[in-house]
């Protein structure tokens, strides 16, 4: 997938999400929101780092964005059009992270994908919801059928790859599109989105639908 097409898909998806957010009325009660998005994060042999990282939302009116045109970590990972965003408002929080043209090698395991995206949404009074989109995934040269179900596990040499990893609670959710674990060596997440909201008590409108993957 070309860099231009990956970037176009990311910008369209983000614009759809932002347009939906602006349509919701303000909530009169005080809430606490949390939101965070990172395109690449993890550790390999004790060295850790993150790339295209929004940092956490500060309050219900905060919006954060981070992007990189390309990322190249020699002998480990490369990708294009990295984009992360997190948005808070009085009764909801939303975040997303994505990249194109992933090529990664971890402890001898090769992982590639045309496009990867994670999205997370938390609405006051409702469980957190999330989704992942993974196109053209292959592991060690073999194409992988992505089911779309949460927490799909693919065994690899010395560890596992978890697709659409989701950790949900009553007030929020963490979604990791691709989580690569090689026991004792590496723990790398590609496209991570977190959203949460809590309050002492209030009501909220219906949840904002997560924009469809294009």
Judge whether residue 207 has pLDDT over 80. no
Tens digits of residue pLDDT in 32-78? 999 999 999 999 988 899 999 999 999 999 999 999 999 999 989 99
Tens digits of residue pLDDT in 101-144? 999 999 999 999 999 999 999 999 888 999 999 999 999 999 99
Distance CA 22, CA 143 (A): 39
Predicted pLDDT of residue 152: 97
Give me the half-sphere count of Cα atoms (radius 13 Å) on the Cβ side of residue 163: 20
CA distances from 45 to 18, 39, 106 (A): 38, 20, 10
Predicted pLDDT of residue 8: 54
Q: Which of 21-25, 154-158, 166-170, 200-204 has the highest mean pLDDT?
A: 154-158
Predicted pLDDT of residue 26: 43
Judge whether residue 1 has pLDDT over 60. no
Q: To the nearest whole percent, how much of the chain has pLDDT over 90? A: 71
- Closest among 124, 46, 112, 30 to 79, alpha carbons compared: 112
Q: Where are the domains of the chain?
A: 3-23+38-199
Predicted pLDDT of residue 78: 97
Answering whether pTM is above 0.95, one says no
Judge whether residue 202 has pLDDT over 60. no
Q: Residues, the chain, total? A: 214
Contact 50, 109 (CB under 8 A): no
């Amino acid at each position: 997938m070309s860099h231009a097409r990956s970037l176009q898909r990311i910008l369209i998806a983000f614009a759809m999400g932002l347009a939906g957010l602006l349509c919701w009325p303000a909530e009169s009660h005080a809430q606490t929101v949390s939101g965070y998005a990172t395109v690449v994060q993890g550790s390999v042999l004790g060295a850790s780092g993150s790339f295209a990282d929004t940092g956490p939302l500060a309050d219900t009116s905060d919006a954060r964005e981070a992007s990189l045109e390309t990322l190249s970590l020699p002998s480990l990972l490369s990708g294009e059009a990295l984009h992360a965003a997190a948005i808070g408002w009085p009764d909801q929080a939303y975040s997303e992270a994505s990249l194109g043209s992933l090529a990664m090698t971890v402890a001898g395991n090769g992982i590639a994908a045309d496009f990867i995206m994670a999205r997370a949404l938390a609405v006051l009074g409702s469980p957190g919801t999330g989704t992942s989109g993974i196109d053209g995934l292959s592991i060690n040269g073999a194409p992988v059928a992505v089911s779309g179900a949460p927490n799909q596990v693919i065994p690899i040499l010395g560890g596992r790859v978890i697709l659409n990893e989701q950790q949900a609670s009553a007030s929020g959710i963490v979604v990791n599109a691709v989580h690569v674990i090689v026991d004792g060596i590496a723990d790398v997440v590609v496209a991570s989105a977190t959203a949460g909201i809590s309050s002492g008590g209030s009501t909220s409108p219906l949840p904002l639908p997560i924009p469809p993957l294009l």
